[in-house]
């Protein structure tokens, strides 16, 4: 599936987050990945692994 999407990096909050927003079949989705801070060490690496797996499962049409 191809979905129009935008990605926002290091969104402020309790922890920095990476958010991907997309619309699919008329529904709006927000995917949030925490922490988006390389200084967080191993938990950042784990977040990046999950992020990569999720994004590899979709075909996104990135909107700039």
Helix (H, G, I), strand (E, B) or coil at 14: coil
The 8-class DSSP code of residue 41 comes to: T
Question: Does any domain span residue 51?
Answer: no
Q: What's the number of domains the chain is made of?
A: 1
Q: What percent of the chain has pLDDT over 90?
A: 58
Tokens of 20: 């991907």
* Mean pLDDT in residue range 18-42: 92
Question: Does any domain span residue 7?
Answer: yes
pLDDT at 57 over 70: yes
pLDDT at 25 over 70: yes
The confidence score (pLDDT) of residue 24 equals 80
- Categorize the per-residue pLDDT at 38 as very low, low, confident or very high, splitting at 50, 70 and 90: very high
* Mean pLDDT in residue range 21-31: 88
Residue 16: give the domain boundaries.
1-25
């Amino acid at each position: 599936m191809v979905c129009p999407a935008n990605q926002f990096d290091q969104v402020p909050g309790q922890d920095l987050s990476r958010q991907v927003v997309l619309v699919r079949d008329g529904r709006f989705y927000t995917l949030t990945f925490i922490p988006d801070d390389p200084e967080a060490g191993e938990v950042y690496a784990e977040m990046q692994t999950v992020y990569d797996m999720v994004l590899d499962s979709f075909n996104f049409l990135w909107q700039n």
